[in-house]
Copies of this chain bind each other. A is one copy, B any other.
Amino acid sequence: MRNATLTLCFVFLLLCCNQGQQNVTTEPGASADPLPSWSDGPSKKAIVDFITKTTTDGDPDFIPVADRIACFDNDGTLWAEQPLYFQFLHALDRVKELASQHPEWKKQEPFKSVLAGDLRGALAGGEKSLMQLIAATQTGMSSDEFEAQVKYWISTATHPQSKRPFTEMIYQPMLELLTYLRNSGYKTFIVSGGEEGFMCAWADETYGIPREQIIGTLMRSAYEVVNDTPRIMRKAELDLLNDGKNKPVGIYNQIGKRPVFTAGNSDGDYEMLQWTTTAPGYPRFGMIVHHTDSVREWAYDRNSNIGHLEKGLDDAAKYKWQVVDMKRDWKEIFPPVDR
């Protein structure tokens, strides 16, 4: 009896210690292989080696928890971005919903083309057209109204080709990488050209990244009090386009320190990758998600408007960025349908 009690006691003790540690450093579901959807190969090995050495006490490359900052682009890095950034698909859907309140749109581009189902025509005006669509559909309302709209859309709309909800157009291997980093004491951030308020409506639930760790493009907004009720009004004016050279600025303004791990997929992430991997001190990791799988996803780089990737490929070797070949390196691209 004594022996049994003693054994039980030790078992409980071990469980208890283990529990304590788990609460601190791991999330539930951590398994032996933290990256099961990644094929064995140079990309997976580079990631595992980096995370292992930077989190192993006593290793010369060890990084204290407070400095374990990991930044991820969103469109094309954490979720798909074809045939068009999903935020613009939201805008197109909203144009159709709002059309009855705007009879003038029937004669006015880019709305006319959107309503005629002519995507190419709608985008013919380039950035100006895109900003007009965003301004007409995603501003001029309070932050709460916008959030409710986006939440409704993301829970009901589906991708035009895959017919899956947009929150299932995320990359399973990147979800595993986010979890692996967090289990290893890294704080994960989104640093995206997508608009802050749009992402905040769904990204936490989808990626496990809280709103305060999302850095995005900002529309101007203003605090107003109407009938003694305060609100944040979203204005039809761009404040900061969080892309290219502005990404390191956004990181400086909001995080205040240089990341040690950064992942992107387009030349809009070039400066953020460069800012990360040229920093002195700690080892750094730069990753480019290269869209190479025309069967399971899309294949595009140098000749694409969406997710244009040219400088990044040219300079990947110079900066030792790990180019992840989606076709070769990823066993799965999207989460299983029945998850």
Interface positions of A (Cβ within 8 A of B): 2, 5-6, 9-10, 12-13, 16-17, 19-21, 23-24, 66, 69, 143, 187, 189, 196-197, 200, 204, 210-214, 218, 221-223, 225, 228-230, 232, 245-246, 248-249, 252-257, 271, 274-275, 278
Residues of B within 8 A of A221 (CB): 249, 252-253
Contact (Cβ within 8 A) B232 A196: no
Given contacts A211-B255, A212-B187, A212-B213, contact A249 B225 (CB under 8 A): no
Residues of B within 8 A of A24 (CB): 20, 23-24
Main secondary structure of the interface of A (DSSP, over half): helix
Contact (Cβ within 8 A) A248 B271: no
Residues of B within 8 A of A228 (CB): 278
Contact (Cβ within 8 A) A256 B21: no
Contact (Cβ within 8 A) A275 B212: no
Residues of B within 8 A of A211 (CB): 255-257
Contact (Cβ within 8 A) A143 B212: no
Expressed in whole angstroms, the minimum distance between the Cβ of A255 and any Cβ of chain B is: 5
Residues of B within 8 A of A200 (CB): 256-257
Given contacts A66-B204, A221-B252, 9 further A-B contacts (CB under 8 A): A2-B2, A6-B9, A9-B13, A16-B17, A20-B21, A197-B256, A223-B246, A223-B248, A230-B248
Residues of B within 8 A of A256 (CB): 196-197, 200, 211-212, 214
Contact (Cβ within 8 A) B249 A222: yes
Complex CA gap A12/B252 in Å reads 45
Checking B10, B17, B204 against A20 with a beta-carbon cut-off of 8 angstroms, the contacting residue is B17
Expressed in whole angstroms, the minimum distance between the Cβ of A223 and any Cβ of chain B is: 4
Complex CA gap A218/B255 in Å reads 13
Complex CA gap A24/B2 in Å reads 33
Checking B12, B66, B212, B275 against A254 with a beta-carbon cut-off of 8 angstroms, the contacting residue is B212
Residues of B within 8 A of A255 (CB): 211-212
Residues of B within 8 A of A275 (CB): 223, 230
Closest to A6 in B: B6
Closest to A278 in B: B230
Residues of B within 8 A of A12 (CB): 13
Residues of B within 8 A of A66 (CB): 204, 210
Contact (Cβ within 8 A) B245 A223: yes
Contact (Cβ within 8 A) B13 A6: no
**Which of A5, A20, A69, A221 lies at the interface centre, i.e. has the most chain B CB atoms within 10 A of its CB?**
A20
Residues of B within 8 A of A246 (CB): 223
Residues of B within 8 A of A10 (CB): 9
Residues of B within 8 A of A248 (CB): 223, 230, 232
**Which of A10, A214, A249, A253 lies at the interface centre, i.e. has the most chain B CB atoms within 10 A of its CB?**
A253
Complex CA gap A2/B5 in Å reads 11
Expressed in whole angstroms, the minimum distance between the Cβ of A4 and any Cβ of chain B is: 11
In the complex, 20 of the A-B residue pairs with CB atoms within 8 angstroms, ordered by the A residue number, are A2-B6, A12-B13, A13-B13, A13-B16, A16-B17, A16-B20, A23-B24, A69-B212, A143-B252, A196-B253, A212-B213, A218-B253, A221-B249, A221-B252, A223-B275, A225-B274, A228-B278, A230-B248, A232-B252, A254-B254
